[in-house]
Amino acid sequence: MKRNEAPQTAASVRSETTYPRPIRPRYLSTPLATIDPLTAVSAKNSLHRALGLTDGERDRIEELLDRDPNHFELAVFSLLWSEHCGYKHSARLLKRLPSTGLRVLQGPGENAGVLDLGEGEAVAFKVESHNHPSAVEPFQGAATGVGGIVRDVIAMGARPVALLDGLRFGAPKLAFRRAVAGVGAYGNSIGVPTVGGETVFDEAYADNCLVNVMCVGLLPSARVTRARASGAGNLVVLYGATTGRDGIGGASVLASQELGDGSEQKRPSVQIGDPFTGKKLIEASLELVERGLVESLQDLGAAGLASSLAEMARDGAGVDVHLDRVPLREEGLEPWEIMISESQERMVAVVSPPRLPAVEEVCARWELPCTAIGEVTASGQLRALDSGEVVGEIDARLLTDEAPRYEVPRRPRRPRPRRDAVDTPLDARLRNPNGASKRWIYEQYDHLVGSRTVRRPGLDAAILRLRPSCRGLAVSLQGPAPGERDPRRAGITAVLGAARNVACAGGMPIGLTDCLNFGNPERPEIAWELAEAIEGIALAAEALGVPVVSGNVSLYNETDGRPIPPTPVVGCVGLVEDVRRVPGRWRTGDAVLLAEADRDDVEAQAQLVGCLWRWAPTLSLAHDVGGGGLEVALVEAALWSELGATVGELADGCGGAIVACSEAALPRLDGVPLRRIGTAGGDEVLGQRLDELRAAREGGR
Amino acid sequence: MSPVSRPRIAVIVFPGSNDDHDATLALDALGADAVSVWHGEDDLGDVAAVVLPGGFSYGDYLRCGALARFSPALRAVERFAAGGGPVLGICNGFQILCEAGLLPGVLRPNRSLAFVCRDVAVRVEDASTSFTRRCAPGQRLTIPIKHGEGCWFAPPEVVAELETAGRIVLRYADGNPNGSIADAAGVLNEAGNVMGLMPHPEHAVDPLLGSTDGARILGSLVDTARSRAPALV
């Protein structure tokens, strides 16, 4: 779902004094009501509460409509006003993030952010979470996470060219393996390479895993497609998969509530992915865009048609939708079910009537159902009809702009000291699943399809060539180090880590996307964490001078009252001037140096990032010193280079980078403090043979 | 350039094909004129060779390639192969050729039961075929694989027959990544004009992207196509 560019405040939103109050019934007390809300209503459990709306929100809806909402309308409001769609606890905080810049063609508020790459090219990208579905069913949750973010990028008119996934689990056990298999099953099948990401194992995620997926797409800069409907009389065309009961209410039931013992009962709310249809949807959508057959595109994600049509209609246009025209995959769906179904692999397009036959022809060739289900009007109303009868009518702005925006009380929580793993012996750190090679994971993903992957996964950022030129994109996705509990530092280090990774691959960071994974924001400590992390992201992004152009918020990541640690995960896209001149592997005799910056000094860190990508053509190797520490990073650099190094006494170097270059090139490196730590050569590093180190590091699973 | 110097090679596109564009790029770079042929076409047009690309044709929710073999384009490929035309199946293309009965054996799930994407070494067992003429006998090639179902299997008598006839053209050289019988990475039909292989030569033609050893396979196909082209023009 999209962030609102300029969130407004609803007048009667509960103030801080009356907040918090029981927002929703706890899941355990009303398990059936949340799965089948309209049939599980009782005197004690009124419909709006069963749908997840507060009494105050119910009153506000009545006030806005100036009448009682009917059940259809209440169901639509409950989804659009959920945290997942409405960002009601986060919208105000998100305004803090910098989102402008010369390259920004599309900032937050659309399906994905778009940046100008020059030379007529643009990049669209976004990261999105699929945490709760993955906790309930790891394979399908992860697979549909891929499908969903890919459609966001398609909706901008871009061809998806890379996926990155951020996975945080308790341990590399069955649930994790199923999630990896799910990412692969979808990504591999649709022909989009999975080129990077991060994997973190931490007990803190054992009951509430994180599956964050980032998609990067390319498009001509003159062809940015948007979701907004325009032109009264234009047709609203639904194409892709048929509509069923899968994922009914997923947005409110799963994404916006905590998990508990009854989680398995939520299985009916998890969608099932169909990558074959997803692949056809990519090709058909791009053909529609390339041939100029559509005015706008929108994917169907959380809250299905309700959310997509509300987004399309929000800018004063209106939409009439005839729900009886929607192609169904099962009999007897109620209009409200059709309206909010989260069946996957569906898109809506706005099409001018004369172009409908051509649109139908494209979809027919890709064997996708394609139906004109409605019209764009000038009424500003989202009006749903069933066999000609109006079943619901809501001013679209009430669903989006008028969604409640809560100012949540915040209470600082003194973070527990960070657990530093540096005292552990090197061998143990290499064997630890977090320090070990992730090869066994990324080898399960096709990272080559598309013929753009100049640098494959394995070190910092992958590099994609912008064919046919020799320019490229460096892409990375990174969250805080395992054990990080300070939310502001988590935000700062996620941004700087992602940017350093991109810079080490020779990319000038040009844009960021963020996925904010937190606990229940109705708790003051969590609200404080969220605000602090956003502050951290903003500080680091400002220091780098790079905008945050898209993102996603995943709250309520708690299980039985235990929240996950603050986990902002940040994706960075960098522009590589010449993919033939990027750091690769150090060579015998190269000087090995540590480029340092005070890890608590954001400005100095940003300067380091700038130096790294500017030095890139000079360097034989550059490698980010991540949370594992300098020794682990040196081993990684040596194994990547397949060449050892003689190094002297090492101090800790977290937050810096290892660089290598020829002695002759040394004078060209300036701008940040550099410390010579050794010379490349031989088959040992840190007194251990490379083959032994490799064996230790490959044993991580 | 004349059609002879740039022979036309058909790349069949099924819904779910993923490496069709990569194959086209690689063939064009190696001097061919690659043309995409939609799965619904039952006429290949005037082409000198055919490539069945990698991917997940029709989603491969059934056995890999089991649906693609019924497509109209496969009828045309069968006629083309029956007339002696060179046909190369890569990954999903290999699976389709086996399902269609144009090549012996089947591709089963990898022994690891996991998808695997990495560079592998293969040894060229026969450098005289239409698909390996740019290779040296015994040459080791580094080419990436990326598949979940690449474990080639055939009954012992079929394997023995292929071994006798030298039709296991490519063999995994440094460990077998999928459990295939006889370490087979690529096999040839009896007539010698149809080959299937699991490694992706189209992903090993550009030095910017890694190995260029795949150019020896695809380049051989282009040479073969070029030598056939005069008869067709």
Per residue in A153-173, pLDDT tens? 999 999 999 999 999 999 999
Pick out chain B residues at pLDDT < 50: 1, 231-233
Task: Using an 8 Å CB-CB cutoff, list chain B residues near A277.
Answer: 59
A449, A576, A580, best to mutate vs chain B, most B CBs in 10 Å: A449
pLDDT of residue A30: 29
The pLDDT of residue A9 is 29
B119 - beta bridge partners? B144
Task: Count chain A–chain B contacts defined by CB atoms under 8 A.
Answer: 86
Tokens standing for B144? 């990436």
Residues from chain A contacting residue B200 (CB–CB below 8 Å) = 448
Could you say which DSSP state residue A169 is in?
E
Amino acid found at A94: L
- The single residue of A48, A84, A447, A623 carrying the catalytic annotation is A84
pLDDT digits (tens, 9 = 90+) for A1-20: 444 333 332 322 222 222 23
**Residue of chain A whose Cα is closest to the Cα of B56:** A189
Annotated catalytic residue within B91, B98, B135, B151: B91
Q: Is-catalytic flag, B64?
A: no
- Under CATH, what is the fold of the domain A100-224+408-581? 60s Ribosomal Protein L30; Chain: A; (3.30.1330)
> Is the CATH number of domain A1-97+227-403 1.10.10.10?
no
What distance in Å separates residue A191's CA from the closest CA in chain B?
Answer: 5
Q: Are A185 and A163 in contact (CB under 8 A)?
A: no
User: What pLDDT is attached to residue A231?
Assistant: 86
CA dist A560 and A260 (Å) reads 5
Of the candidates A184, A366, A451, the beta carbon closest to that of B15 is on A366
Chain A nearest-CA residue for B53: A449
Q: B125 is written with which tokens?
A: 């067992």
pLDDT of res. A334:
87
Map out the domains of chain B with their CATH numbers.
8-231 (3.40.50.880)
Distance between CA atoms of residues B47 and A576, nearest Å: 39
Question: For residue A405, which amino acid is it?
Answer: R
How far separated are the first and last CA of chain A, in Å rounded? Answer: 34
Please state, in angstroms and as integers, the Cα–Cα distance from residue A98 to each residue in A511, A543, A548, A605, following that order: 10, 11, 6, 18
Pairing relation of β-strands B8-13 and B33-38? parallel
Pairing of strands B87-90, B49-52: parallel
Active-site annotation holder among A48, A89, A130, A623: A130
pTM strictly above 0.80? yes
Q: Is A170 helix (H, G, I), strand (E, B) or coil?
A: coil
Coil/strand/helix, residue B2: coil
Chain A residues whose C-beta is within 8 A of a chain B C-beta are: 181, 184, 188-191, 274-277, 279-280, 283, 366-367, 442-454, 456, 465, 467, 470, 579-580
Q: Which residue of A has its CA nearest to B114?
A: A444
Contact A451 B61 (CB under 8 A): no
The C-alpha angle A143, A148, A154, rounded to 5 degrees, equals 125
**Contacting residues of B for A188, CB less than 8 Å apart:** 56, 115, 146, 148
Residues of chain A contacting residue B59, judged by C-beta atoms under 8 Å apart = 189, 274-277, 279
**Phi, psi angles (nearest 5°) of residue A149:** -75, -30
Q: Catalytic site residue A71?
A: no
CB contact under 8 Å between B209 and A454, yes or no, is: yes
Query: Between residues 26 and 65 of chain B, which touch chain A (CB distance below 8 Å)?
Result: 26, 54-56, 58-61
pLDDT, position A267: 45
The Cα A297–Cα A289 span in angstroms is 9
Q: What per-residue confidence (pLDDT) applies to A269?
A: 60
Q: Could you please report the per-residue DSSP string of A24-36?
A: S--GGG-HHHHHS
User: CA of B137 to nearest chain A CA: how many angstroms apart?
Assistant: 28
B208 contact A CB<8A:
yes
Distance between CA atoms of residues A479 and A486, nearest Å = 13
The answer to whether B118 faces chain A, any CB pair under 8 Å, is yes
For residue A226, the model assigns a pLDDT of 77
Partners of A679 in beta bridges: A591, A646
Residue B84 C-alpha, separation from nearest chain A C-alpha, in angstroms? 31
**Considering CB atoms only, which of A184, A191, A277 is closest to B18?**
A191
Among A161, A178, A186, A189, most B C-beta atoms within 10 A, so best to mutate, is A189
* Strands annotated E in chain B: 8-13, 33-38, 49-52, 87-90, 106-108, 116-124, 140-147, 151-153, 168-172, 184-188, 194-197
Contact A465 B114 (CB under 8 A): no
B169 Cβ neighbours under 8 A, 6+ residues apart: B124, B125, B126, B129, B131, B132, B186, B187, B188, B195, B197
Q: CATH 3.30.1330.10 residue ranges in chain A?
A: 100-224+408-581
Q: Is the dihedral of CA A494, A498, A499, A504 positive or negative?
A: positive
Q: Which two tokens stand for residue A90?
A: 């986060």
Chain B positions touching A465 (Cβ under 8 A) are 208-209
Tell whether ipTM is more than 0.90: yes
At residue A38, the pLDDT reads 40
Instruction: Name residues of chain A where pLDDT drops below 50.
Output: 1-42, 251-255, 264-267
Orientation angle between helical segments A138-155 and A275-290, nearest 10 degrees: 0
> Nearest C-alpha of chain A: how many angstroms from B181?
22
Q: For residues A668 and A691, what is the distance between their CA atoms, to the nearest angstrom?
A: 33
Instruction: Fill in the DSSP letter of residue A253.
Output: I
Specify the domain boundaries for CATH 3.90.650.10 within chain A: 1-97+227-403
| Chain B residues with beta carbon closer than 8 angstroms to that of A451 | 21-22, 25-26, 202-203, 206, 209
Q: Which residues of B touch A449 (CB under 8 A)?
A: 18-19, 22, 54, 146, 203
Nearest CB to A454: which of B146, B203, B208?
Answer: B208
